[in-house]
Structure 1
Amino acid sequence: MTGREETTAEKNDQHLRGKRIALGVVATAVYVLAAVVVVCLVHNSGTYPAGSDTMYHIHRAELVYSSVCAGNWWPGYDPTWYNGVEILRYWPPLAPYLMAACQAIAQGDIWAGYLLFVGILVVGSSIPWLYIGYKMDRPWLGAFLGLVWFFLPNNLYQLFAEGNVPRALSMCFLPLYAYNVAAFLRGEKRVNFAGISVCFSLMVLCHLGYAGMLALATLLFVLIYCLVNRRVRVALRAVLAMLLGFLLVGVWLVPSLFGGISNIDSSTTMKSFFQSLGVSLNPLERLRTTLVPYIGLPGFVLAVTGALFSNRKAAPGFITAAITCVLTSTAVMPFLAALPGGGLLWMMRFISIALCLILISLLQWRRLKTPILVTFCALIVLDCVPSLSLIYGDRSGVQPVERLSQQQKGTLVEEAKSITTQRLCVLQEGSGVIDAYVLTNLGGTTNQVFGAGWEASTTSRNILLLNRASNEGDFLYMFDRAKELGADTVLMNTDVVENPEPDMVEQLDECAEKTGYKLVNTSGIYRLYHLSAAPETFGVKTQYPAIAIGKNSDTIALSYPAFKQTADPNLNHYTFDELSRYHVIYLTGFTYDDQQAAEDLILQLANSGVRVVVSADGIPENKNSHDRIFLGVRCNTVRFNNGYPDLHTKDGILDTDLFPSDMTTWNTVYLEGLDDPWGYADLGDGTHVDFMGTAGSDNIVFVGFNLTYYYSLTHDESVGGLLSQAMDLDSGELPERELVPLALSYGPNAITVTSPEDNVNTTLAYHDLFDDVPGARDDFHLTVVDGGTTRLPLAYPYLWQGVAVSALGVAGLVAFSRGHRHAKEPGNELA
């Protein structure tokens, strides 16, 4: 009898196994068929490769492909963008290498390679869910989730609207990571411990910033899991496994973190990563546009329902997802921004993480009634339909090269490329990634001042200031710094000027002429300028008459381009010999370690004939007294509304323009303790306050009321004249620049520069790879060399340190995965 029962049970097991194998085969075939359909639709969409950043990632893929074909397996340096950028150091390498492999399969056709890559994403993001369904004993639901995961609105938005290819690739690993975390918390299996670490490492190699956000989501999930299930030890082990995932990829991660990405994840861009829940949850809103991040009402309702009614295994995921969705609201942003490190919380990027948690928790919620489950599944499918337009586009069938070429007609891009000998500067905001790709990869290569992915460039501050100068109409600075960056050609879109004056075009041409650029051609809003006398390859030797020290040095330089900007705001780090070479020194937002030494240096410089101008709004607070006093001059706060009162000066009363409309309240300082006041304002009731004058020496001038910043915003001529008088410097004065011919060659392991003179700016971006090179140094993010031949190495940075960290990660993974015991509670499965 027992034998018959066993035989029957074996037959049932075989039958069930056969059904599951058949389901796996059929599901995989469906995934492949879906991939083929998606690829065909994308190919005929007329918009591919769609996405604002997609061309950047295609450029990286082409760079990797061409370099590998030439025998260089790690093309860490790209000379075409940003005066030379370490393009694989700060942006993870997995996506470009996979795209390059797709290009190789497509026999070098990058567009066919991209289509193949999209097909791989469809299948690669589906199979994990099928696997998870089997492991959790819910194969049918797993197979269904595998089919819809790629098509969820936010996942399509990432790939086809944002064009964030690495984040789209990470969607293949995110479900596996979430499953391993949930499985480990339930059963503490070694394979799941290792799975957490490996999957997280893959996420890091896709997108470091996104992996960091996933780490925060994991910590929130683990915290909620501890509160619901009261199992702290296993939760800490899961966090440990995640941290080991960071260590495993230390060979890439260490150079990325040590070098420091210039301005990535800045809090200044935080506000654009929040959205009203009325948009994020409203399915009708997407009938208007699909080009916004979208959570989905069915998913959010499922998260809230699961948080309230599911079991202990599923509830933590539902609760975490619901909280995450709420935190994406613009109403929450001020509270998150106030947290330490809150500027890193770009909450819209957490949406797919929340959706993944919802689906994993749905698989764990075994007691959910089938009709309700089917209803939720149907609503999820229905919610995907509007976003399918991101796949099929306008169905025109226009291919990428043709479309990109058409977009450049009338922009003078082709002519600009043809006359450029060293580097091209295109001042055109709004379509920068496409422009950068067209210049670099379409119809011949042209080196550029700009590019895409500026956060990873060492010249990020330089290029942001170029954009600011073009927007604000500081054309003299714009052309002068374009020359400093080695641009022999400048292509200007005049529409980028935010408040153009009636004679803007005349000003533009006049400033170009003054800096040596000649107008070559015009086409509508585009104007093309060229340094016809420039050598084919050149550096720049410069003598500045003035220097600005402090974190606000950019503002004064934009208005007075004769000022040399500095990266170090600490006055104690400068010497008398170094600063006495300048005619004018401007202190704005400076710091010091020793106030007495700083004051003594300024007095010594002033007594030697150097004019020192101190922006009183940027005087640091004394650490002991908490007063803002420098050279005996005290700064006191004052507030103005809409505009200044009449400013009384030695040359008469200034009737200044009103403050900009978005800055009607003006918080600033007035001055006490001046030896010779140059100007005062009447605050009413007979109260006079000084805003300008000298102290300590006739060559030390203090300026209050934040006049420099006001002038940068308004270009008020009366205030400009007053500032010029204080600085003994005209706003039209320029540094002396000499173009020096250089011999420059790029090799796989080094850049070789031969200069006929000392102290020549090569116009190449400076990297920490050059720190130990004799005769080479950093000057405002550009590389300066002395005469002779200088070899700038391009070796893999921090290699042995990275290898050591990776080895530590492997050792830790082996030790900790072997060291823990299984959970005591019955059953190790998630069923």
Structure 2
Amino acid sequence: MGGLMPERKSFSQRLMALDWLWGPLGILIAIGSGLAFVLYCYWPVITQPGIVPGADPTSFAHTAKMIVDYFKAHGSLPVIDPTWYAGFELRQAPPLIYFVLGSIYYLIHNIDLTMKIFHPVGTFLIFLSMFYLMRKEGYQTLNAWLAAMLFAFMPSVFASFSSYTKVLAIIFLPLAFYATNQILIKNSLKHLVYLAFLIMLVIYSHPMNGIVFGMFLSMYAVIYAIVDRQIITRRFFLVIGAIGLGFLLSSQYVVPFLFEKVGRTTLPPEEVVFNFGFGRLMLNYIAEYGGALFGLIPLYVAIRKKIPKITATYLAAVLSTVIYFAYYFNIGFFFPFNMSYGYIWIYTADFAFAYVLALVIPWSKIQSLGPYFLRIGLAILIIAFSFFMANKYVDIFRLANYQYEKYPADVQISQELSKYDNPGRVMISHYPFGLVNYMIANFTNRKSVEGHYFGISRIGTNIALMADAIHNSKPEYVINELKHLNVRYFVANQYLQDMYYQDPKTGEKIYVGLKMIDELLKNGYKFVYQTPFNSDAQGKPKKDSYKLFYLDKPSTYVMPVKEKIFAIGKYSYVVAAEMAPLGVNVLEGRSSGSEYFDDYSLDFLKNFDTIVLYGFGYRDKVKAEDLARAYVAQGGHLVVDLFNMEVSPLADGPNFLGVTTCPIKLKEAAQIQPLTNGLAKMIPTTFDIPGEIYDPGTGVIETRQLKEWNAVEYIGLDQSLARLKTDENIASIFGYKNIGTGEVTFIGLNFFYHLYNTNDKNEAKFIKSLIQGNIQTGEAIDTDAREIIFANDYLKYQLHSPTNQLWLISLAYSKHWKAYINGQPTPVKNIDNLMVIQTPAGSNVLELKYESTAVSILGWLLSGLTLVILIFMLIYSKFYHGNINEKEARR
């Protein structure tokens, strides 16, 4: 009786003591609120009729649908998507997105609903992934919820809904971070295996995300090992090793992606680097991260807690931010990856900042409801402030308020196309971003060429160069490309119809899009249909009508090469584009693997009257020079410009056939002095520095005046025909080099590109005469190509020609396509990113088979071997390595 009475607890204290209730309930509420917010944001996407927003979804969904439909019909997977990019090679595309979308579509049989499902599920999985990481790292539910909300709905991460491949990649980043910490802290071998698999999944989602995420985790591991003395330094090598194993595990995709990338391009740096002032940079910072608190509060958290892991995470976030924003100040060349992918670092910075910022709310044993709800209120306030600040610059709630356009123009143009029987391709211009292509494929299953650049497509450069030709008022070049691509339907959207540039001298508006349409009509295309003008979401009329042009001509995907001029080199497009308006068709050898002169045989080159070497290279100089002599000896006309010639890094400068270059840089107009009569007299005597046409994406083409002009002149010519008036007698800009009984023409001053930019009529006459020489138009040869089989991985044609003949196969080039003439293998040349083969005179059977290559087999072997190693490591960690760790722990 003498003991003290137990302290009487309040109701809230007794309630808070129910740990068995609050733990699971808190997790359910956290996950439920995250799901509720996802549904709020995406509800119009889910419930309204129409297509999901974003540039990439329809493109990926359309190919996923094609894969599943093909699998259902044939019981095997296709190798190309014939309805996209002249036969888009599927092994070059990130495979995980097609597996995910294809699996959903296979189960529900509705591709539109598939996209509506993937949008919210992708964002919710990012939320869950971050939430799982924080809980596994030992943080309280509220901190985990705050981190997950901040990360999943940070503007730059949330906006990834428009890029499905990046959504998938981001899902795996928090999980990979957790595995990295387990390796560093616990020396966990099984988590090394897990990290390898996670890196593989990121690479399968988006290869550049894989590179950046791998670099970020390596960077973090090094920093963590430096700031935490308890971390055994060598363990960060285990992290790097795990990332390397992840790349090896994905070799089945990565090896062909890297080593069979013929034709793939990246955007030039001037298209992707932004130069902003500091003030604009800060506004962008606020918009990307959701408020300045992301730069200040995480720093406070790192300083206050003094925990090495948090410090390392914060420093990794800062470094990611520095790398990301370096691109705004055009110093991205300091970093060892392509500049066009610098923006991916924003995701790693977002992740690390969200991780640290979520820990600003301290959590200890809470005795009553008041402090509990105070912390919840603080977390909600942080989220609200972040969204408020971000929304001042980026509408992160745009999906919640999204009003679908019904896209009737896309549907109507597709329905109209379904009325035609001609199996030729559809060319969709200008910048349709996948939507029109998606509609056309779903309604008509037609082959098409989308008028939007796509970096991993084989013909991405073709599309970009056709757009450049339109911008530069050279639609004749586009017509020639359409012939090669077997285009019979041309869809001109409103962007193309309204496009113009303003002449800087006269102020005249030149509608280059309408000029393209006029050229279509001149070449047999007929204007057959126009969609009505539509209304926007508010019912206001808008000018967005499509025009359909049809070429009523039999379709063929194998056609004779009729061009008699062949330009070889990375700048061969310039020659073809400037000759097209002059009525001269030029075949281009500019694709990967086709720009080397000595890769061609004399038998192949003899099909052409003129060879132009411009931006070319050679693998063996002696062989290349012997080939040049042999070509000229049999009557060929060889024209050479050594500007930016591909040479060995050890070489002093371009030298070919005994002719050496002298680089020159003009900063003002130069005067040219002809030295002989004849062709030299046609050279314009004044050489101005031109401007370049540039498309800023507004529909109004701009002209940018160049400040200087880079070119070469020559030493070693046998006959000098022209030079700059300021030069001594030793250097020439135009002349001949005698080789045997013939001669080679050397032209300098980068004349070809100069004409491309100036369109000067006198200069055009000179260049045309220079290239054509004394070529006489020969008689047309009667050829015939009859289709026997056109399957996804096999083509068979009956060909006939009275002479040796080059044939162009209108499919995107791949090293996997092997050609056989009458059962015997024959070389396949990558010409203009399409395929060209040669047949002997008479009737021949052409077979084209899609086969494995040594590179693809190597990729499978590396993936298989790595998988075996990882399985062994997993077994080892379970039965041996784990016991060692337990013994060490007991000691």
Question: Normalising by the residue count of structure 1, what TM-score does the alignment of the two structures yield?
Answer: 0.84
- Give the Cα–Cα distance (whole angstroms) in 1 for the partners of residues 661 and 858 of structure 2: 48
- The range that moved more, 306-315 or 718-727, is 306-315
The reply on whether 1:667 has 2:667 as its aligned counterpart is no
Shift of 1:213: 0.9
- Give the Cα–Cα distance (whole angstroms) in 1 for the partners of residues 595 and 106 of structure 2: 49
Going from structure 1 to structure 2, the CA distance change for 1:504 and 1:453 (only over 3 Å counts) comes to closer
1:67 aligned residue:
70
2:850 aligned residue:
793
Check whether the contact 1:181–1:196 (CA below 8 A) recurs between aligned residues: yes
Shift of 1:693: 1.8
1:156 aligned residue:
158
Going from structure 1 to structure 2, the CA distance change for 1:796 and 1:70 (only over 3 Å counts) comes to farther
Which aligned pairs between 1:615-654 and structure 2 lie closer than 5 A?
A: 615-618=641-644, 626-646=652-672, 648=674, 649-651=680-682, 654=685
Going from structure 1 to structure 2, the CA distance change for 1:824 and 1:636 (only over 3 Å counts) comes to farther
Going from structure 1 to structure 2, the CA distance change for 1:480 and 1:733 (only over 3 Å counts) comes to farther
Shift of 1:502: 5.8
The reply on whether 1:765 has 2:812 as its aligned counterpart is yes
1:315 aligned residue:
311
**Letter of the structure 2 residue corresponding to residue 769 of structure 1:** H
Q: Summarize deviations over 1:148-183 as a string: whole Å, max 9, x none.
A: 432221111111xxx111211233222111122123
The reply on whether 1:460 has 2:460 as its aligned counterpart is yes
- Give the Cα–Cα distance (whole angstroms) in 2 for the partners of residues 198 and 324 of structure 1: 23
DSSP-derived class of the 2:430 partner = coil
Going from structure 1 to structure 2, the CA distance change for 1:53 and 1:314 (only over 3 Å counts) comes to same
1:297 aligned residue:
292
Going from structure 1 to structure 2, the CA distance change for 1:274 and 1:97 (only over 3 Å counts) comes to farther
- Give the Cα–Cα distance (whole angstroms) in 2 for the partners of residues 132 and 629 of structure 1: 59
1:778 aligned residue:
829
- Give the Cα–Cα distance (whole angstroms) in 1 for the partners of residues 522 and 440 of structure 2: 27
2:120 aligned residue:
119
Going from structure 1 to structure 2, the CA distance change for 1:510 and 1:157 (only over 3 Å counts) comes to closer
Check whether the contact 2:428–2:451 (CA below 8 A) recurs between aligned residues: no
Q: Summarize deviations over 1:391-411 as a string: whole Å, max 9, x none.
A: 54484654xxx62224677xx
2:700 aligned residue:
none
Shift of 1:793: 3.4
Going from structure 1 to structure 2, the CA distance change for 1:154 and 1:229 (only over 3 Å counts) comes to same
2:608 aligned residue:
582
- Give the Cα–Cα distance (whole angstroms) in 1 for the partners of residues 62 and 186 of structure 2: 44
DSSP-derived class of the 1:700 partner = strand
1:268 aligned residue:
269
- The range that moved more, 616-625 or 203-212, is 616-625
Shift of 1:692: 1.3
Which aligned pairs between 1:162-181 and structure 2 lie closer than 5 A?
A: 163-181=162-180
Which aligned pairs between 1:241-280 and structure 2 lie closer than 5 A?
A: 241-260=242-261, 262-263=263-264, 268=269, 271-272=272-273, 278-279=279-280
- Give the Cα–Cα distance (whole angstroms) in 1 for the partners of residues 339 and 489 of structure 2: 37
Check whether the contact 1:314–1:362 (CA below 8 A) recurs between aligned residues: no
1:289 aligned residue:
none
2:92 aligned residue:
90
2:382 aligned residue:
379
The reply on whether 1:535 has 2:561 as its aligned counterpart is no
**Letter of the structure 1 residue corresponding to residue 664 of structure 2:** V
Going from structure 1 to structure 2, the CA distance change for 1:406 and 1:825 (only over 3 Å counts) comes to farther
Structure 1 unaligned runs (5+)? 1-10, 287-292
The reply on whether 1:199 has 2:187 as its aligned counterpart is no
Shift of 1:622: 8.3
Shift of 1:224: 1.3
1:7 aligned residue:
none
- Give the Cα–Cα distance (whole angstroms) in 1 for the partners of residues 198 and 192 of structure 2: 10
Counterpart among 678, 681, 686 of residue 721 in structure 2: 678
Which aligned pairs between 1:447-486 and structure 2 lie closer than 5 A?
A: 447-450=447-450, 454-486=454-486
DSSP-derived class of the 1:726 partner = helix
Which aligned pairs between 1:238-637 and structure 2 lie closer than 5 A?
A: 238-260=239-261, 262-263=263-264, 268=269, 271-272=272-273, 278-279=279-280, 281-282=282-283, 286=287, 293-294=288-289, 296-309=291-304, 310-330=306-326, 334-339=330-335, 341-344=336-339, 346-361=341-356, 378-385=381-388, 386-387=390-391, 389-393=395-399, 395=401, 397-398=403-404, 403-406=406-409, 415=416, 418-419=419-420, 421-426=422-427, 428-441=429-442, 443-450=443-450, 454-492=454-492, 493-496=496-499, 498=501, 508=516, 511-512=519-520, 517=525, 528-532=548-552, 534-561=553-580, 562-566=585-589, 567=591, 568-618=594-644, 626-637=652-663
DSSP-derived class of the 1:455 partner = coil
Check whether the contact 1:743–1:753 (CA below 8 A) recurs between aligned residues: yes
- Give the Cα–Cα distance (whole angstroms) in 2 for the partners of residues 265 and 298 of structure 1: 35
Q: Summarize deviations over 1:87-134 as a string: whole Å, max 9, x none.
A: 3x22222223322333455x3232322222223224322333333343
Check whether the contact 1:82–1:451 (CA below 8 A) recurs between aligned residues: no
Check whether the contact 1:170–1:206 (CA below 8 A) recurs between aligned residues: yes
**Letter of the structure 2 residue corresponding to residue 314 of structure 1:** I
**Letter of the structure 1 residue corresponding to residue 454 of structure 2:** W
DSSP-derived class of the 2:611 partner = strand
Shift of 1:317: 0.8
Shift of 1:320: 0.6
- Give the Cα–Cα distance (whole angstroms) in 2 for the partners of residues 716 and 722 of structure 1: 10
**Letter of the structure 2 residue corresponding to residue 694 of structure 1:** Y
Aligned residues: 797
Q: Summarize deviations over 1:406-442 as a string: whole Å, max 9, x none.
A: 4677xx666556447233343523333223223222x
**Letter of the structure 2 residue corresponding to residue 771 of structure 1:** K
Counterpart among 31, 41, 44 of residue 38 in structure 1: 41
- Give the Cα–Cα distance (whole angstroms) in 1 for the partners of residues 654 and 256 of structure 2: 40
Q: CA RMSD in A?
A: 4.1
- Give the Cα–Cα distance (whole angstroms) in 2 for the partners of residues 284 and 237 of structure 1: 34
DSSP-derived class of the 2:66 partner = helix
- The range that moved more, 555-564 or 622-631, is 622-631
DSSP-derived class of the 1:569 partner = coil
- Give the Cα–Cα distance (whole angstroms) in 2 for the partners of residues 395 and 316 of structure 1: 39
- The range that moved more, 781-790 or 605-614, is 781-790
Shift of 1:799: 6.8
**Letter of the structure 1 residue corresponding to residue 233 of structure 2:** V
Going from structure 1 to structure 2, the CA distance change for 1:446 and 1:796 (only over 3 Å counts) comes to farther
Shift of 1:322: 0.8
Q: Summarize deviations over 1:35-57 as a string: whole Å, max 9, x none.
A: 43334233467885111222212
Question: Normalising by the residue count of structure 2, what TM-score does the alignment of the two structures yield?
Answer: 0.79
- Give the Cα–Cα distance (whole angstroms) in 1 for the partners of residues 624 and 257 of structure 2: 36
Going from structure 1 to structure 2, the CA distance change for 1:535 and 1:662 (only over 3 Å counts) comes to same
Shift of 1:709: 0.8
- The range that moved more, 445-454 or 816-825, is 816-825
The reply on whether 1:813 has 2:857 as its aligned counterpart is no
DSSP-derived class of the 1:591 partner = coil
- Give the Cα–Cα distance (whole angstroms) in 2 for the partners of residues 467 and 731 of structure 1: 30
**Greater relative CO (CA pairs within 8 A, separation 6+):** 1
Check whether the contact 1:45–1:395 (CA below 8 A) recurs between aligned residues: no
Q: Summarize deviations over 1:778-803 as a string: whole Å, max 9, x none.
A: 34132456632625237799776444
**Letter of the structure 1 residue corresponding to residue 746 of structure 2:** F
Going from structure 1 to structure 2, the CA distance change for 1:177 and 1:217 (only over 3 Å counts) comes to same
**Letter of the structure 1 residue corresponding to residue 735 of structure 2:** G
Check whether the contact 1:642–1:658 (CA below 8 A) recurs between aligned residues: yes
2:8 aligned residue:
none
Going from structure 1 to structure 2, the CA distance change for 1:406 and 1:545 (only over 3 Å counts) comes to closer
2:699 aligned residue:
none
